[in-house]
Structure 1
Amino acid sequence: MAKIRQNDWRGIAIAAIIIVCWFALLVYLLNSFEVSFASPLTYLFILLQTHLYTGLFITAHDAMHGVVAPGKPALNKAIGTTTAFLFAYNWYPRLLPKHHQHHRHVATEQDPDYHHGSFWPWYFSFLKNYITWWQILLMAITYNVLQLFFPLQNVILFWMLPAILATFQLFYFGTYLPHKGEHAADNPHKSSTQSKNHLWAFISCYFFGYHYEHHDKPYLPWWQLYKAKV
């Protein structure tokens, strides 16, 4: 399967759509949406904003592989830095070497994403590797500033909660499921993959349940990854 051409602007356009949708929906939900726990819209918007948060991180991830703006390293890094920062103040230059270490040493002691254990210990190990104290401080400051201007329950439900849920989404579908358990000796990527269902693969984690395919063809952006699924 061919790599993305260096003059291909589709990744940039898709990244822009995710950023704009995340920001526009967040502004609407904080400023204009009246929360009703009896309304399914409240829960639908939580899930949608969670999915868009996940999209921010997936975009940052694609930037780590140079496929958001291929052939334009400065722009690619800028998009990756922006989307990582919007996702709970993650710092792209810190994430980049860790992610490539994961690809080089997948499911070994040198893999920062891997933990030999059950779900919750693995999840907390994952968080410990990626969350810093200054991120927590910035989140706390932002929380206190936002509640000065918007209803507290809107801030919690549509800014804070989706960010937390997105970490579960990314971890469960993009790390835990594909890398847990033992893998065959002839599996070079020590990764499993979801069954072929493109709709569910997109909804669950932007096709990253097709995880063996990602490790096998890391030059494919998320929106092309489904093409690698046999």
Structure 2
Amino acid sequence: MAIARKSDLRGVSIAATIVVLWLALLVYLLHWPVELSSPLTYVFVLLQMHLYTGLFITAHDAMHGVAAPGKPGLNRAIGTATAFLFAYNWYPRLLPRHHQHHRHVATEHDPDYHPGAFWSWYLSFLRQYITWWQLLLMALTFNVLKLFFPLENVILFWMLPAILATFQLFYFGTYLPHRGEHPEENRHKSSTQRKNHLWAFMSCYFFGYHYEHHDKPYLPWWQLYKAKS
């Protein structure tokens, strides 16, 4: 049964902030004079990675109807836009797969689950969520961007952070919570990070608190820490 949600525009503001920060930093960094010997270069790569992850986390909130609760059209628009900005993911394709994950977590019917080692699981995860048309669009965008910006900037600040963000999402949001055997009383078959709100935000927007997310999927990412006991 669908849960009626009270309208709350805080999620819209937070989603807009992530998109604006991601875009503004990307534009700035595409013009930034790269110095590979400078630690700031790698700080910028990690920061842009984190904002890429924020795009996907925002799309994920939309999948649960909490990016713009009470406004389904706006909620879907936010989910579609933020998923598309993250390597041309297609929200209507992601939505049923994510809810299948919640219904059949850590089973053979879970598209996010793979009973194997880290790298085989990661490759399985990518196969579930990356399509050939995404790769073609990424290749086309790469070739267009390098006509206008230095190649090293395009690689370091547009391409590499997106790749690293898939690791961040997979490692903290899928692999760590769902690997191994979970006790029978763990009905969500999910583990959780130790309580540390700063690290939980930095690692993956509180999605290391993964049992709490499965237990209370109606909480947006920026309120998920409240569920951590």
TM-score > 0.5, shorter chain as reference? yes
Amino acid at match of 2:9: W
In 2, are the aligned partners of 1:192 and 1:212 still within 8 Å (CA)? Answer: yes
Aligned to 1:25: 25
| Backbone CA RMSD of aligned residues | 1.0
Percent identity (aligned): 80
Partner Cα distance (1:119, 1:212) in 2: 20
Contact 2:177 2:190 in 1 (8 A): yes
Matches within 5 A, 1:2-41: 6-31=6-31, 33-41=32-40
Shift of 1:7: 2.3
Q: Which runs of 4+ in 1 moved over 2 A?
A: none
- Contact 2:4-2:70 at 8 Å conserved across structures: no
Cα deviation for residue 4 of structure 1 reads 9.9
1:175 counterpart = 2:174: yes
Which structure 2 residue ranges, 5 or more long, are not aligned?
Answer: none
Instruction: Name stretches of at least 5 consecutive residues in structure 1 with no aligned partner.
Output: none
Give the CA deviation at 1:6: 1.8
- The verdict on how the C-alpha distance between 1:150 and 1:23 changes in structure 2, with shifts beyond 3 A counting, is same
Q: Is the 8 A contact 2:190 2:211 kept in 1?
A: yes
Q: Deviations over 1:45-69 (max 9, x none)?
A: 0000000000000000000000010
Query: Residue 224 of structure 1 corresponds to which residue in structure 2?
Result: 223
Partner of 2:78: 79
Amino acid at match of 2:83: A
2-side partners of 1:7 and 1:225: how far apart?
Answer: 18
SS at match of 1:89: coil
Change (3 A) 1:110 1:71: same
1:54–1:169 contact (8 Å) kept in structure 2: yes
Maintained 8 Å contact 1:102/1:112: yes
Secondary structure at the aligned position of 1:194 is classed as coil
TM-score, normalised to structure 2, is: 0.98
- Classify the secondary structure of the residue corresponding to 1:112: coil
User: Quick one: which amino acid aligns to residue 22 of structure 1?
Assistant: W
Which amino acid counterpart does residue 104 of structure 1 have in structure 2? R
The answer to which of 6-15 and 208-217 deviates more is 6-15
1:12-57 per-position Cα deviation (integer Å, ceiling 9, x unaligned): 00000000000000000002x1110111110000000000000000
- The residue number in structure 1 matching 2:202 is 203
> Which amino acid counterpart does residue 47 of structure 1 have in structure 2?
L
TM-score by length of 1: 0.97
Cα distance between partner residues in 2 of 1:29 and 1:224 = 30
Alpha-carbon distance in structure 2 between the residues aligned to 1:192 and 1:91: 28
Aligned counterparts, 1:1-230, within 5 A? 6-31=6-31, 33-230=32-229
Q: Which amino acid aligns with 2:87?
A: A
Amino acid at match of 2:163: I
AA partner of residue 197 (structure 1) = N
Q: Which secondary structure state, in structure 2, belongs to the residue aligned with residue 42 of structure 1? A: helix
